[in-house]
Structure formats: C-alpha cells, structure tokens
Structure 1
C-alpha cells in the first residue's frame, strides 16, 4: 500500500488544523505531525503545502526574527481558511464514515 498517495490528500487539512489552533511556524508544525505519528513528513513535503495554502489565501505568512537564528515564517489561518477547514472536516468525516462502513461490513 502506498501510504504517501493516501496521505497526500489529507495532509493539507491536517496542517490547516494545526495552524487553526494558533500562529505557528514550519518546524513546530513538523513536531506536531511527528507527535501524532506522521514520521515520514519532512520540510521538503511541508513547505510546498504551506506555499500552496498561502496562494489559495487560506493561510497568511509573516516573517519575524527568530530568537534562535535565521528569520522564521509564522503562519496564521485566514477567514476563508476557516471556512475551507470546516468544509474539509465535513467532507473528511463523510468519506471516513463511508469507508469505515464498507470495510466493516459483514457482507456487501
């Protein structure tokens, strides 16, 4: 099973969920993903997602001096991002429910 293909479709919503909880930066997002078992997500996967989300205007980015070194990009969800996230959750739950129903069915 190619987990990467399956993950690709839900990663944007997962990242948006993290950002919706408060302003954050890329490395912190990676730490949260790792904490929840997404061990194969790296900067090379995350930053293109963040760039796409910014182009869609569902997150904004500001650059700030970091206390530990180079400047850091901080991400915040936008109003349209909040709407997008609510729709993502709704669709994801519907799909998950249908898949679980089929997987757990005794007969079809």
Structure 2
C-alpha cells in the first residue's frame, strides 16, 4: 500500500491556510520550501500551484509579510512569515480545528461503539 494519503480537496482547501501559517510560524520559508515542508508533514501530493495562491491571499489580507532574498541558484526568493494578524488567525483556526476534531472524533469515529439511542415512549 502506498504511503500517499489522499485528502478530500474541499477539506484540504479549508485547512491549508492554517497549515501554512503554522509552518511559517515555526520558520520563515519561500514558496517551494513550504511545499516541501508540507510534503514532509504528510501531504505528499500537494502541488505548488495549490500553495502559491494561498500565500498570495494571506499576504494580501495582511496575515503574511514577505521579503526578497537573493539566491545563488536563480532569481531572488520571496520568504514569508506571519504578521500579528496572521498569528491571531492561526490561533483562531487552531481553536476551531480543536473543536471540530473533537466533534468528529466523538461522532463519526466512535459511532459503532456507541449504544443505540433509547426509543422514546
């Protein structure tokens, strides 16, 4: 069996900004480096064309800041890091994810283990 994990595109679309902010909070990165880090985290089939629009949107919204760094192997690289607003958004996203994952775990992941609901009189 392949180690690649297939993710629902809509679910992934909803969590990628949070994942990008979280990884950039740990270490500023340029776009392709972030793609590599996401792949290393388990999103093995994530494409650069998926990540770059998210970085652009987060920067446009003021959640990321960027700086150009000369590169010895080609054009300058654009390094991203979260702003205060981005860190606030990250914390809010983490809180929402924690609540949602609790509901999913309590409902969908254990539904076979739960006793059936009692019948109403």
Q: Where in structure 2 are there 5+ consecutive unaligned residues?
A: 1-5
How many residue pairs match? The answer is 108
3-state SS, counterpart of residue 99 of structure 2: helix
1:79 maps to 2:105: no
- Match for residue 96 of structure 2? 91
Q: If you compute each CA radius of gyration, which structure gives the higher value, 1 or 2?
A: 2
- Which TM-score applies when normalising by structure 1? 0.92
Q: Where in structure 1 are there 5+ consecutive unaligned residues?
A: none
User: Deviation of residue 25 (structure 1)?
Assistant: 0.9
In the alignment, the residues of structure 1 paired with residue 28 and residue 50 of structure 2 have an alpha-carbon distance, to the nearest angstrom, of 20
In the alignment, the residues of structure 2 paired with residue 38 and residue 52 of structure 1 have an alpha-carbon distance, to the nearest angstrom, of 20
Runs of 4+ in 1 over 3 A off after TM superposition: none
Pairwise CA RMSD of aligned residues?
Answer: 1.6
Q: Which moved more, 1:61-70 or 1:74-83?
A: 61-70
1:40 maps to 2:45: yes
- Which TM-score applies when normalising by structure 2? 0.83
